[in-house]
Structure 1
Amino acid sequence: MKFDNPEDIVQLTPHWEGERFANGRPKVPDDILRRLRNITLEEAWGALWHRGYHFQFEGDFKIIHPDRVMVGRAVTAVMVPKRPDLHDTLLKYGHEQEGRKGFFNQWVIDTLVEDDVVVVDLFDKIHMGTYVGGNLSTAIASRTKRGGAVIWGGIRDNQQVVRIDNINVFYRGSDPTAIADVTMVGMNVPTRIGKAVCLPGDIVLGTPAGVIFIPPHLAEPTVVQAEKSQVRDIFGFIRLKEGVYTTAQIDAAWDKALWDDFANWFATDEAAANYRHLSWENELTEARRQKRDGSPSDVRL
């Protein structure tokens, strides 16, 4: 076996057709990451749930900075309890064949780049299961700039970690002990975090409610759907305050007249300025078709 094997990563992520890192990990564009920082967890969840991705969210965490949103590309690792023969074989292989330094958790952190998030299945181990402390959290912050870690296990040095501004850490518990009696059996492989599944290159969206893992090929559709939902809500709130429509009209499938009103507002109102990269051609075409058929548009976002 190899750690962080490009051929395996490409095989695991065949739906991604964009740029990749040297190790094969999908590289979702920076602009998509920027836009994802402005959506809610529920908006991302809905876009994935309706596409059949039902195991992407986990909420049972403690959070170093619970008021901050974290977005980044996943670098995954899987740990298991220490079995001496397996442990010695893999540690020796990493040191001698792949030139890695230190312990398993350091191998992962040494590979991080800007906007990465470490995602680690540490089998919910907290005592002697502290994946990072002050030093390694500082290294994560330095390498990722605004990333962090999602750890299904423990951390230590909380009082130091909480003072690191440009990092967030989602974790299960704290303990003063150092990491011990664990072995890494996979790096950038499928990883289970509670009831969620994360693959290398997934976009990690960490919020006060928990963490959701967005497959890279669905990152852009997810953010587009979320942004469309947001700007429709802005329009709806304005029109409701003006008394133009009832809540039943806004919440139901829109007819062509309402879509036309929205399209004109979207093109001219300053409140829609940040959303004008969005295209509504499919929705407007469907509204026109439905009008010809004599029924309201059933396009929903």
Structure 2
Amino acid sequence: MFSAALRRTATTSFRSMPLARSMATGPASGGEISDELLAKLGNLSTQALVDGLWVMGWPNAQIDGSRALHPSHKCVGRAVTLQFVPARPDIAQDKPAGGESPEYEAFEKCGPNEVLVMASVGKWDSVGGDIKFLRLKQREIGGLVTDGSVRDTDEIINYGFPCFSYSTTARQGPAFMQPWKCNDVISVGGVAVRPGDAIVGDQDGVVCVPAKVAEKVYSIAHGREEIEDIIKEELTKNPGPPGKYYPFMSGKIKVDSPLGKLLATKGITPENSNQFEGSADW
């Protein structure tokens, strides 16, 4: 039996030992997205990409509340992330000042194939406006996405880069929040975004495709879009309720089903498609 003194010493020593911690930050390993794959993902609709992730069983990937600032805006690019935190005097003092601020660090990592993803504190708080975003225009950025708001709307639209935000506002951001960390995992609109993930935005919203599974998501989503085009073509020629062919689950289409037989007439079979029962490769 330990003496009381020995037990106290052992307890004190145990409590003073640092706990080992493991934390995953930054880009995913083995998941770099090529420019070629980016272009292919950008040719798909956001709903097709959401469906592809859903088929695989991955969590929701749509960044709710980020809508196109202008009807012409569509973006695709690798994510560069920026985290804002609530304003607090001591944190403001510790944050690098001026051009060394984390937001400008993030700006300089952006180019035509990058989308800056900014995690706001509040949906009505401004993440920036015309003077700050002039630099994004100069960098020819692929797009900006935030779950907060932007100000100086007309000028941002004139800058020409795609912008997706919760809304627009006249209120300033620094009174409520400040940029704190560049290129770490962030939560935007309830979705986890990792640096290097593919960000695709169109009029239906913005989707984050995790870099590690981007190729697989493209394969599923592209296959689904091909099938949906065939279904629409058939229903246009032979009007009727879509229920004969739609909806369908990728990887579970039966060869002898009405949809399976329709696809066969177009040359799509389990031998060349992963959409059929038993052919799924995810």
Give the TM-score normalised by structure 1: 0.69
CA distance in 2, matches of 1:62, 1:45: 16
Residue 240 of structure 1: how far off its partner (Å): 4.6
Residue 78 of structure 1: how far off its partner (Å): 1.1
CA distance in 2, matches of 1:246, 1:233: 14
**Residues 80 and 182, structure 1, Cα contact 8 Å, conserved in 2:** yes
**Residues 254 and 298, structure 1, Cα contact 8 Å, conserved in 2:** no
CA shift in 2, pair 1:262/1:152, >3 Å:
closer
Write out per-residue CA displacement over residues 93-148 of structure 1, whole angstroms, 9 at most, x where no aligned residue. xx8xxxxx25442222122122211111121164xx42221233332233245x22
User: Does the residue aligned with 1:71 lie in a helix, a strand or coil?
Assistant: strand
- Is 2:224 the counterpart of 1:229? yes
Among residues 138, 141, 153, which one is paired with 1:142 in the alignment? Answer: 138
Residue 168 of structure 1: how far off its partner (Å): 2.2
CA shift in 2, pair 1:187/1:102, >3 Å:
closer
Look up the match of 1:133: 129
**Residues 125 and 153, structure 1, Cα contact 8 Å, conserved in 2:** yes
User: Does the residue aligned with 2:228 lie in a helix, a strand or coil?
Assistant: helix
User: Does the residue aligned with 1:232 lie in a helix, a strand or coil?
Assistant: helix
Among residues 135, 158, 166, which one is paired with 1:163 in the alignment? Answer: 158
CA shift in 2, pair 1:33/1:283, >3 Å:
closer
Residue 250 of structure 1: how far off its partner (Å): 3.6
Moved more, 62-71 or 185-194: 62-71
Give, as a single letter, the amino acid of the residue that structure 2 aligns with 1:130.
S
CA distance in 1, matches of 2:169, 2:136: 18
Look up the match of 2:271: 281
- Is 2:90 the counterpart of 1:85? yes
Moved more, 111-120 or 63-72: 63-72
Q: Matched residue pairs, number?
A: 252
User: Does the residue aligned with 2:214 lie in a helix, a strand or coil?
Assistant: helix
- More strand by percentage: 1
CA distance in 2, matches of 1:184, 1:80: 6
Give, as a single letter, the amino acid of the residue that structure 2 aligns with 1:123.
V
Write out per-residue CA displacement over residues 37-68 of structure 1, whole angstroms, 9 at most, x where no aligned residue. 22222211121123332232233235311343
Percent identity for Structure 1 against Structure 2: 20
Look up the match of 2:149: 154
CA distance in 2, matches of 1:212, 1:140: 21
- Is 2:34 the counterpart of 1:36? no
**Residues 138 and 164, structure 1, Cα contact 8 Å, conserved in 2:** yes
Look up the match of 2:116: 118
Give, as a single letter, the amino acid of the residue that structure 2 aligns with 1:209.
D
CA shift in 2, pair 1:150/1:166, >3 Å:
closer
Residue 74 of structure 1: how far off its partner (Å): 0.8
CA shift in 2, pair 1:177/1:85, >3 Å:
closer
Residue 216 of structure 1: how far off its partner (Å): 0.7
CA distance in 2, matches of 1:216, 1:59: 20
Alignment root-mean-square deviation, CA? 3.5
CA distance in 1, matches of 2:265, 2:134: 49
User: Does the residue aligned with 2:221 lie in a helix, a strand or coil?
Assistant: helix
Among residues 72, 81, 99, which one is paired with 1:76 in the alignment? Answer: 81
- Is 2:26 the counterpart of 1:9? yes
Residue 232 of structure 1: how far off its partner (Å): 1.7
**Residues 112 and 143, structure 1, Cα contact 8 Å, conserved in 2:** yes
Look up the match of 2:186: 191
Look up the match of 1:22: none
Moved more, 176-185 or 76-85: 176-185
Write out per-residue CA displacement over residues 257-298 of structure 1, whole angstroms, 9 at most, x where no aligned residue. 97587466349xxxxxxxxxxx963648x97xxxxxxxxx57
- Is 2:50 the counterpart of 1:45? yes
Q: Where do 5+ consecutive residues of structure 2 fail to align? A: 1-23
Q: Where do 5+ consecutive residues of structure 1 fail to align? A: 1-6, 19-25, 96-100, 268-278, 288-296
Give, as a single letter, the amino acid of the residue that structure 2 aligns with 1:206.
G
Give, as a single letter, the amino acid of the residue that structure 1 aligns with 2:105.
W
Residue 151 of structure 1: how far off its partner (Å): 1.9
Write out per-residue CA displacement over residues 11-33 of structure 1, whole angstroms, 9 at most, x where no aligned residue. xx13xx25xxxxxxx3x111222
